[in-house]
Amino acid sequence: MTGGRHRSNMELVAQGLGNIGSALFGGIPATGAIARTVTNIKSGGKTPVAGVIHAITLTLVLLFLAPVAALIPLASLAGILVVVSIGMCEVDHFIRLLKAPRSDVMVLLTTFLLTVFVDLTVAVQFGLVLAALLFIRRMAEVADVSVITRELKGDPDNEETAWMSRLEDLPEGLEMFEVQGPFFFGAADRFQEAIRSIEKPVPVIILRIRNVPAIDATGLHAIREFLRKCRKTSTQLIISGVHTQPASALKRSGLWEEIGEENIFKNINQALKRAREVLEQKA
């Protein structure tokens, strides 16, 4: 609102320390109020000094002028609050938000109505839960798992054909899967569906995860189950394109050792070289 840099983390640390100190003297923990902040800014106070002066003034009133403050009519305070709330309302911004996707509008209106008719704390809790569910849903939509072996072999118009032309022809007995997006519980079902598309066991399967920035426990479980199925059918699983977070997760879970470091590579060229070696051994 001021156009300056806001150190929100440090503010939370300061509020936490303030609440601890307050509790030591029998005080009640509280949070920073947006109403006083907006009033400060609307009045021209745009630096932390304004907050410090406000805190000192409030302390002096509580210590020395509490009996006088108790005589202020509630109707007068209500009028001040109405003026402040009108100044806080960004009606144009609210109307623009209503033109957002329906799911976002649902979160907005739910939080808004709960704030007005129930309580701000309840509204924030519901808003966070709804926003988290919405994020999960969107991540599940962008995540994709597909079998790309046939596409790379048979579709001359496929955008990856140019990439594959730099490599030797894919050997027979190899299937290649590719995971797009975060490999978490939202994508696990699609991974299982892609696996079921294999009509008969093959000697080697390459799992490309070059576009997987992160993997969670469910994704690791899906890979472990896939690895067990591969072992039952004597299929060698090779993983290609492992980034930092997935590599760390694979090592912590023990999958790195189960798959074998010799079967995990950073690029597809090394993975294909390993696949040819395995196919020659099984020939």
Same domain, 116 and 131: yes
32 assigned to some structural domain: no
71 assigned to some structural domain: no
pLDDT at 259: 93
Same domain, 132 and 211: no
**Helix-strand-coil split of the chain, %, nearest 5:** 65, 10, 25
Same domain, 159 and 205: yes
Same domain, 126 and 229: no
Quote the CA–CA distance of 125 and 115 in Å, as a whole number.
11
181 assigned to some structural domain: yes
Of 76, 107, 142, which residue constitutes the final position of a domain?
142
Instruction: Say how far residue 131 (Cα) sits from the centre of its chain.
Output: 10
Same domain, 133 and 209: no
Same domain, 103 and 206: no
Name, in order, each residue with C-beta under 8 angstroms of 234's C-beta and a sequence gap of 6 or more: 201, 203
pLDDT at 149: 59
- Residue linked to tokens 């988290």: 132
Phi, psi of 208 (to 5 degrees): -90, 125
Same domain, 135 and 156: no
Please, which residues bridge with residue 174 across strands?
204
Quote the CA–CA distance of 81 and 92 in Å, as a whole number.
21
Please report, for the domain that includes residue 245, its CATH number.
Answer: 3.30.750.24
103 assigned to some structural domain: yes
Of 99, 126, 142, which residue constitutes the final position of a domain?
142
pLDDT at 212: 87
Same domain, 157 and 264: yes
Q: Which of 278, 267, 143, 166 is nearest to 208 (CA)?
A: 267
The domain in which residue 235 lies consists of 144-282
Same domain, 155 and 136: no
Same domain, 150 and 212: yes
Tokens of 240: 């290609």
Mean pLDDT by 10 residues, the chain (283 residues): 75 87 84 74 82 88 90 90 79 77 84 89 90 78 61 46 52 84 77 78 90 84 89 91 89 91 89 90 80
Three-class secondary structure of residue 90 per DSSP: coil
Helix (H) or strand (E) holding 18: helix 8-24
pLDDT at 159: 44
pLDDT at 142: 62
Query: 60-78 burial string, b = 16+ CB within 10 Å, else e?
Result: eeeeeeeeeeeeeeeeeee
Same domain, 193 and 114: no
217 assigned to some structural domain: yes
Give the CA angle between residues 107, 140, 199 to the nearest 5°: 155
Helix (H) or strand (E) holding 222: helix 217-232
Phi, psi of 7 (to 5 degrees): -90, 80
Other CB atoms within a 10 A radius of the CB of residue 101 amount to 10
pTM over 0.75: no
DSSP 103: H
pLDDT at 32: 64
Other CB atoms within a 10 A radius of the CB of residue 247 amount to 16
pLDDT at 84: 78
8 assigned to some structural domain: no
Question: CB–CB of 219/184 below 8 Å?
Answer: yes
117 assigned to some structural domain: yes
Tally of structural domains, the chain: 2
DSSP 45: -
Same domain, 155 and 276: yes
Give the CA angle between residues 40, 115, 14 to the nearest 5°: 45
99 assigned to some structural domain: yes
